[in-house]
Amino acid sequence: MPEFIDLSREIFHRTQTHPSHPPVVMTVWNDHSEKKVAGNTTFTSKALSIAMSDHAGTHVDAPVHFDPRPGALSIDQVPLEKFYTEAICLDLSHVPLKHAITVAEMEAALAGSGQQIKPGDTVLIWMATNERLLGKPGYLHDFPGLSLPAVHWLADQGIGMFGVEAISPAPEGELNFQAHMACAERGITHMECLANLDKLVGRGRFRFIGFPLRIRGGTASPIRAVAMFE
C-alpha cells in the first residue's frame, strides 16, 4: 500500500494568510439544533459558510496572478498533469529567518539529498518556517525564502513548480515581488503554506499530488497537497 503524507495546512476561521489578501471567515450556516421537516420526515443537517481568498491556506498560484500578459493562464486552465508529478524535497532548514537562499545553498542542498532534479519535477523546499514561526506574529513577516537567482536556478533545471511553507516564495518586500515576476518570466509557478515538509527530507523521490479547485478565472486555488511514497 502507498504511504500518504499530508502536506496541507488546516483551513479554519482566521487562518494565517498573506496580509494583502482577505481573511478566512468561517461560520455555521445551519446545525443539528435546527429541526427540518420534509413531508413526514424530520431531520437535521449541518453546513458551514466559508468566505476566503483563492490564495487561502495551502495553495498554488496561477500564472495570471503574477503575469499581466494576455493569455496568462488562470487556475482552471492550467493542465492537471502539472499537479501530479515526481518530486523531491530539499533541506534548507538551517537558513536564518528572513534569509534569501542563494544558488550555492540550493546546489549544496541538492547534493546533500543525493537526488537529481528531472524535467517537470516539483521541488519542495523545507526551511523550517512552520516549526519556527507558525502561530507567532513573525509568521507573516520573518520567513526565509529564495533569492532571485535561486528562482532562476530552479527554472534552469526544468521544474514545473516549487513549494514553500511560508506565505510567499521569497523574503518579504521587493524581493518577493521580483520572485513572482521571475516565475512569470520563466513559465513556472509555486505553492505556498505547505506543511510537514520535514517528513520528506532524506527519503528520496516521491509522487506529489496537489490538484486545484476548478475556479473560473482563478488567480490561485487551495489544494490538498499530498506526498505519496510507493
Domain boundaries, the chain: 59-229
Specify the pLDDT at position 38. Answer: 85
- For the stretch 159-175, pLDDT in tens is 999 999 999 999 999 99
Specify the pLDDT at position 159. Answer: 97
What percentage of the chain carries pLDDT values higher than 90? 89
Measured in degrees and rounded to the nearest 5, phi and psi for residue 137 equal -55, -30
- For the stretch 114-147, pLDDT in tens is 999 999 999 999 999 999 999 999 999 999 999 9
What pTM was computed for the model?
0.93
Q: What mean pLDDT do residues 196-203 have?
A: 97
Please state, in angstroms and rounded to a whole number, the distance separating the CA atoms of residues 15 and 152.
Answer: 31
Specify the pLDDT at position 27. Answer: 95
Please state, in angstroms and rounded to a whole number, the distance separating the CA atoms of residues 144 and 161.
Answer: 18
59-229 topology per CATH: Glucose Oxidase; domain 1 (3.50.30)
